[in-house]
Amino acid sequence: MPKSISGFSKLSKEEKINWIAATHFANAEEVVQTIKKYWNTDASLQKLHDEFIENTITNFYLPLGVAPNFTINGKNYTIPFAVEESSVVAAASKAAKFWGNRGGFKATIINTEKIGQVHFIYNGDKEKLNTFFSQIKPKFFSETEGITKNMQKRGGGILDIILKDKTADLDNYYQLHATFETKDSMGANFINSCLEQFAKTLKDEAQTFDAFTEDEKNITVVMSILSNYVPNCVVRAEVSCNVSELAEKHIENPQEFAEKFVQAVRIAEIEPYRAVTHNKGIMNGIDAVVLATGNDFRAVEAGVHAYASKDGQYSSLSHAKIEDGIFTFWMEIPLALGTVGGLTSLHPMVKIALEMLGKPSAQELMQIVAVAGLAQNFAALRSLTTTGIQQGHMKMHLMNILNQFKATEDERKQVVKHFEKNTVTHSAVVDYLAEIRK
């Protein structure tokens, strides 16, 4: 068992690394060298990264790739993807090219409303609480003016606050359920600051409300926090064309392909086991762009998967149909994103990613991210219903296998040539590599 340590956070970065290496590794010196290899040679840039989180020892790199040729609402984009999984960028690029020749992607913002809640316990008369809330509701707005002033200048702010009675689910449990517009900011800090002021106003005003008994005045605020479930902050992405226009190299019979594609989506709509993997493919594209643009992919994931369960069973986020000879593939998805604040103005690569996208507004970024997810899903379903998913994926994975076994440049050339005409599997690559090395 590794020994525990007191005051670790107060150690210097060098001291932290030395302690970790000595405590957890037999080859301590080699571990220290590896950790330091990933430091940035620019000291000021490294300091910036060190201050993003706590107890930083080094940087953990992900590849940043790009998928060009995306046409969205008639505008061309090169989309950045920060992701470690092979074939994601290639699949997105292929889908971009495919639909670029068929009119491109269309994206529409349906709504941009975000939510925050003050969760509290009130043990008393419900009608009194309703009367109290109605009387003090204007104070929730007036007492947050210092927080909302700048957001209101940008066209955002608090949209509404309602009192929710949740006592049927939990004894004496109520909510202040607030909706917000945060414009180009993701808005987490703004929303949470407003909520904490709401909680203070709620408690303070209860103390002077004459109709409350002494017990009723003692409202207990449990917590005040934004929600990452944003079912009213939704974007729609779609593609469509005549079924006959789907024809290409691997789609000789476009009608058959379209029908099979729609069936594959329908299976994901009704079968949760398939839906999870289906939606994971969508998130391959979404998470990669969200991460590249400095947004919170964990919040997006949580909200998206809750949305996929909104009808009582986990289901496909995307949908497809054939109607009057037209194939349509679409998705509506909740995305709370920002293009100002947080890492967007700090992380150098995030700034490059956003500039590459043309410095989009939050709404435009929502559209771009949704399209990346739909493109990824289309590419996966096209492979699944034609050549199979593994053919392309394993060819992309080939480089990872060769790196794992430290193949030389000459060995790489031989292996790549061999598997141009042979099926790539991990064991087949290892066996062929061993044969070369004999």
Active site residues: 85, 280, 296, 393
- For helices 126-142 and 188-207, angle between their N-to-C axes, nearest 10 degrees: 130
Identify whether the C-beta of residue 69 lies closer than 8 Å to the C-beta of residue 92.
no
Residue where the block lists tokens 């702010």:
157
Closest by CA position to 329, among listed 256, 266, 392: 266
CB atoms within 10 A of CB 141: 16
Give the CA angle between residues 422, 382, 401 to the nearest 5°: 35
Element holding 249 (H helix, E strand): none
How far is residue 236's CA from residue 240's CA, in Å, rounded to a whole number?
13
Distances (CA, A) of 314 to 274, 276, 306, 409: 10, 8, 8, 47
The alpha carbon of 333 is separated from its chain's Cα centroid by a whole number of angstroms, namely: 11
DSSP for 363-387 reads HHHHHHHHHHHHHHHHHHHHHHTTT
Mention every residue, 6+ apart, whose C-beta is less than 8 A from residue 410.
none
What does DSSP assign to residue 219?
-
Rg of the chain's alpha carbons, rounded to an integer? 27
- Tell me how far apart the alpha carbons of residues 387 and 17 are, in angstroms, rounded to a whole number: 48
The angle subtended at Cα 270 by Cα 266 and Cα 274, nearest 5°, is 85
d(CA 228, CA 16): 34
Rounded to 10 degrees, the C-alpha dihedral 387/393/394/400 comes to 170
**In whole angstroms, what is the distance from residue 196 CA to residue 174 CA?**
16
Q: Is the CB of residue 71 less than 8 Å from the CB of residue 104?
A: yes
In the structure encoding, which two tokens stand for residue 85, read together?
């999984």
